[in-house]
Chain A
């Protein structure tokens, strides 16, 4: 996140910064490509070339190939997302006169696209675009439904949240450790009370916007392959039988973070480093996963 241009690209994509992990990594990895792909949105209207199609198929094969390394599969997945961003842009434009910034719609639509990429099964013989369209539109519509959070979290708090996320990353980078509230306040030239407000705003934000996501991932078992042998060892936990299906139903990234934090004993900062996401994001995902597991255990 130290690279200015990455931040610019994210900001351009949405000043709400809906940083679902996958969206974050895609935008971070490839901002030039993202921007390039967004420009020729009309391209959707023209037919794809045979090369485009062949490339798409190849990428899906790589992404689904368990013999490939995680890195290779992630790169393929990111390229697939980038390749189809014009579709998101095209669909988002259909909703643009409803009081939400187009950039925000593109960003939530991208989340739908990422979900579609993860769930697409080439064996079934669908065109990817027809498979992805309902998912992307669904995510955009969900965004309108979930607008409640923006009312509860005032504008100022949203800005604070973003400033904090960025400052935490910068200070961690420069000092090699997680900063304190005092250091964050000094760095941002705001009061400690404002930092505290911002931390709570970040939590409120995640509760509303991410809860809507729960239970949306019925095909998680295919993503579970990404985890491979990194499945947390639940050896001594008594309720592991009840937990297993709940863990399996979590998005792979969340399961991975849970494992790293609670079974490998890594700190949030170390996880953020390892996965190249912000520490606040790690914290939000942990809170979300724990809440999901709690609900699941209670429902039993």
Chain B
């Protein structure tokens, strides 16, 4: 599955469910454990609300899900913002994101803010 899955939603909380569900479906295909899947869903939620909060009125959130062959999933969400500034990396929100996924980066290009998440299916052990 090397074709990226792309989804565009209005920048409004009520449509975030579509991004979550798409993420779940791709994670399932990559054999993510429920632990990791739920973490990524939380992360996607967090990023989406971060973006919705900064988005200019009537804009959209673009989401791209790209599955790698090694069980890795890259999720990029972006939107048009007024300020075009990076979210602070020393916020609680960022702390949460870094705990939920393997890697999180934010980039700004003109007024477009993109947040990229990387998560992988492997490395899940529960000490039973």
Contacts and interface: CB of A to CB of B under 8 A. Distances in A.
B28 A269 contact: no
A237 B32 contact: no
Contacts of B126: 172, 176-178, 267, 269-270, 273
B83 interface: no
A236 interface: yes
B102 interface: no
Interface residues of B, number: 36
Contact of A290 (B25, B32, B36, B45): B45
Q: SS class of chain B's interface: helix, strand, loop or mixed? A: helix
A21 B96 CA distance: 22
B28 A195 contact: yes
A179 interface: yes
A182 B128 CA distance: 21
A199 B90 contact: no
B124 A177 contact: yes
Interface of A: 168, 172-173, 176-182, 184, 192, 195-196, 199-200, 203-204, 234, 236-240, 243, 261-262, 265, 267-270, 273, 279-280, 283, 286-287, 290-291, 293-294, 297-298
Given A178-B35, A196-B28, 10 more contacts: A172-B128, A173-B128, A176-B128, A178-B36, A179-B34, A181-B24, A204-B17, A280-B34, A291-B45, A297-B93
29 contacts: A176-B128, A180-B31, A180-B121, A181-B24, A181-B27, A182-B31, A196-B21, A196-B24, A196-B25, A199-B37, A203-B17, A237-B91, A237-B95, A240-B92, A265-B99, A267-B35, A270-B127, A273-B127, A273-B128, A279-B34, A280-B38, A283-B34, A287-B42, A287-B45, A290-B42, A290-B45, A290-B46, A293-B92, A294-B49
Interface of B: 17, 20-21, 24-25, 27-28, 31-39, 41-42, 45-46, 49, 53, 88, 90-93, 95-96, 99, 121, 124-128
